C-alpha cells in the first residue's frame, strides 16, 4: 500500500471495518516515507574494507542497506535515519559514523 493511499480518508467506512485498537497489520517502515531528513548522524560505507558478511543488513531498522547479487551496496540515504546500529555490528571497519553536515 502506498503512503498516499494509506492517508486517504474513506468516509464510508464503518466501525466494523476498522482494526481493533493496538493491532498492527503492516509495519510503518520508512519504505513508505522518505525519512532521511531526520538524520543528524550519518554512516559512511567504505567499500574496499567490506567483506560482504551481511551482518549490517538485517539489523538496519530502516532497510536502508541495499543488497544486489550477494553484495551490499552503499546506503539508501532517503531512508537511513542514522541510528548507527550498522556501524556497531561491522567487524571490518567498513562503516564509519559521524555527524552529518547539512
Report yes or no on 24 lying in a domain: no
Q: Is residue 60 part of a domain?
A: yes
| Interatomic CA distance for residues 43 and 59, integer angstroms | 14
DSSP code per residue over 43-98:
EEE-GGG-----SSTTT-TT--S-EETTEE-S--TTT-----HHHHH-TTS-EEEE
Q: Quick one: pLDDT at residue 12? A: 79
Phi, psi of 44 (to 5 degrees): -125, 130
pLDDT digits (tens, 9 = 90+) for 43-79: 999 999 999 999 999 999 888 999 999 999 999 999 8
What's the total number of domains in the chain? 1
CATH no. for residue 37? 3.30.70.20
Indicate the pLDDT class of residue 22, thresholds 50, 70 and 90.
low
Does residue 14 sit within a domain?
no
> Cα-flanking dihedrals φ and ψ of residue 72, to 5°?
-80, 145
Segment 2-26 shows an average pLDDT of 65
Residue 68's domain spans which residues? 29-102
Amino acid at each position: 500500500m502506498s503512503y498516499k493511499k494509506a492517508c486517504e480518508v474513506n468516509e464510508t467506512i464503518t466501525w466494523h471495518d476498522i482494526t481493533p485498537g493496538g493491532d498492527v497489520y503492516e509495519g510503518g517502515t520508512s519504505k513508505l516515507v522518505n525519512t532521511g531528513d531526520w538524520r543528524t548522524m550519518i554512516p559512511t560505507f567504505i567499500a574496499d574494507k567490506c567483506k560482504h558478511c551481511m551482518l549490517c543488513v538485517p539489523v538496519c531498522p530502516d532497510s536502508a542497506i541495499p543488497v544486489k547479487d550477494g553484495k551490499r551496496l552503499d546506503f539508501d540515504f532517503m531512508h537511513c535515519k542514522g541510528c548507527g546500529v550498522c556501524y556497531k555490528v561491522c567487524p571490518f571497519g567498513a562503516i564509519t559514523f559521524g555527524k552529518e553536515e547539512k
